[in-house]
């Protein structure tokens, strides 16, 4: 699906139930969907999360979100999972997971089910994760 084929307002309503974007969200999302590099700074409460969540849900592949806050990652994953019947739509990958949970995350990514992967910065220093994620591109 290319940027001309995507009605981002329809997708916003479908996934999040909103009729309109807030602030600069629409411009940011259009830039991301058009595959342009985007550097975005928004205030707390400005709707940053939607700027990467909506494009991830609309497009193929898995978006990787790097966050140092495990509690925030869990809240984000829970919120995205509430939009879908598939728990694997969003995952965290951090030191709090068991080997069984890590295996499930990898399986869901490989199968194409996972749209958003929240990763702690220290997880990106683990060779096992880096190798796996490079292989999945």
Q: What phi-psi label fits residue 78: left (phi over 0), alpha (psi between -120 and 50 degrees) or beta?
A: alpha
The C-alpha torsion from 82 through 88 and 90 to 94, rounded to 10°, is: 130
* Packing angle of the helix pair 25-33, 48-58 (nearest 10 deg): 30
Q: Model confidence over 21-59: pLDDT tens digits?
A: 999 999 999 999 999 999 999 988 889 999 999 999 999
DSSP letter assigned to residue 130: H
Q: Which residue has the tokens 């479908």?
A: 14
Tokens of 100: 């069984």
Residues of the chain with CATH 3.40.50.300: 61-137
Q: The domain 61-137: what is its CATH number?
A: 3.40.50.300
Q: Model confidence over 62-99: pLDDT tens digits?
A: 999 998 888 889 999 999 999 888 889 999 998 889 99
Collapse the DSSP code of 25 into the 3-class scheme (helix H, G, I; strand E, B; otherwise coil) and give the result. helix
């Amino acid at each position: 699906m290319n940027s001309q084929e995507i009605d981002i307002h329809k997708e916003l309503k479908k996934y999040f139930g909103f009729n309109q974007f807030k602030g600069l969200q629409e411009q940011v999302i259009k830039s991301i969907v058009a595959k342009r590099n985007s550097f975005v700074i928004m205030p707390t409460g400005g709707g940053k999360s939607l700027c990467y969540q909506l494009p991830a849900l609309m497009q193929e592949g898995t978006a990787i979100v790097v966050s140092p806050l495990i509690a925030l990652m869990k809240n984000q994953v829970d919120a995205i999972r509430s939009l879908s019947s598939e728990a694997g739509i969003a995952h965290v990958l951090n030191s709090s997971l068991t080997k069984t949970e890590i295996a499930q995350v990898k399986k869901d990514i490989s199968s194409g089910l996972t749209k958003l992967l929240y990763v702690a910065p220290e997880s990106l220093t683990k060779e096992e994760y880096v190798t796996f994620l490079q292989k999945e591109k």
